[in-house]
Amino acid sequence: MATRTAPPRTPRRRTRTPQSPPPERRIRWLLIAAGIFLTICLGRAVQMQVVDGGFYSERATGQHRNEVVTPALRGAILDRDGYRLALTQEASTIGATPSLVTDPARLIAAVAEASGESPDTIMQRLNAEGVSHVDLAREVPKAQVKQLEAMNLKGLDFAPAQRRVYPSAIAAPMIGVTNVEGEGVAGLELQYDDVLRGTDGLEVRMADPVGNAIKVIRNQQMQPGRTISTGIDRQVQSEAEAVVSETRVQYRAKAVTAIVIQPATGEILAMATAPLPKDGTFREATADQLRLRGITDQYEPGSTFKAVTLGAGLSTGRISPNTRVEVGSEWQLYDGILRDSHPDPGIKTAAEALRMSSNIGVAKLAYEHLSSPGNRDSVLSQWIDRFGFGMPTGIDLPGEVSGTVPSYGQWSGTSPLNIPIGHGIATTPIQIAQLYATIANDGVQIQPHVVTRIDGQGPVQAPRKRIMPAAAARTLANMLEGVVSDQGTGSAAAIPGYSVAGKTGTTKKLNNDGTYSDARYLSWFVGFAPVKNPKVLTLIMVDEPHGGQYYGGEVAGPAFAKLTARALTSLGAQMDQPGAASAG
Whether the Cβ atoms of residue 171 and residue 84 lie closer than 8 Å to each other? no
Q: Which residues pair with 472 in a beta bridge?
A: none
Query: pLDDT band at residue 579, thresholds of 50, 70 and 90?
Result: low
The three-state secondary structure class of 274 is strand
Q: Which residues pair with 203 in a beta bridge?
A: 68, 219
Percent of the chain with pLDDT over 90: 68
For 555-559, the CB contacts below 8 A with 24+ separation are 555/247, 555/251, 555/523, 556/247, 556/493, 556/504, 556/523, 556/524, 556/525, 557/490, 557/491, 557/492, 557/493, 557/504, 557/525, 558/492, 558/493, 559/243, 559/244, 559/246, 559/247, 559/256, 559/258, 559/525
pLDDT in tens, 314-372: 999 999 999 999 999 999 999 999 999 889 999 999 999 999 999 999 999 999 999 86
Percent of the chain with pLDDT over 70: 85
User: Domain coordinates of the chain in residue numbers?
Assistant: 234-570
Span 508-531, mean pLDDT? 94
Residue type, 137: A
Structure-model confidence comparison of residues 130 and 82, the more confident one: 82
Please tell me the least confidently modeled range out of 156-165, 287-296, 352-361: 287-296
Superfamily of domain 234-570: DD-peptidase/beta-lactamase superfamily (3.40.710.10)
At 544, give phi and psi (nearest 5°): 60, 65
Q: Please confirm whether the linkage preceding 275 is cis (ω < 30° from 0).
A: yes
Provide the pLDDT for residue 1: 45
Per DSSP bridges, beta strands 77-78 and 346-349 are unpaired
pLDDT in tens, 427-455: 999 999 999 999 999 999 999 999 999 99
pLDDT in tens, 16-60: 555 556 666 777 777 777 777 777 767 666 665 655 655 555 455
Cα 428 to the chain's mean position, in Å? Answer: 15
Provide the pLDDT for residue 118: 92
pLDDT at 179 over 80: yes
How big is the chain, counted in residues?
584
Structure-model confidence comparison of residues 3 and 584, the more confident one: 3
The three-state secondary structure class of 259 is strand
pLDDT at 62 over 50: no
Provide the pLDDT for residue 135: 92
Distance CA 148, CA 326 (A): 80
pLDDT at 233 over 90: yes
pLDDT in tens, 534-562: 999 999 999 999 999 999 999 999 999 99
Provide the pLDDT for residue 207: 66
Whether the Cβ atoms of residue 540 and residue 432 lie closer than 8 Å to each other? no
Distance CA 86, CA 76 (A): 5
What is the model's pTM? 0.83
H-run or E-run covering 393: none
Cα-based distances in Å from 228 to 84, 85, 513, 554: 10, 10, 46, 39
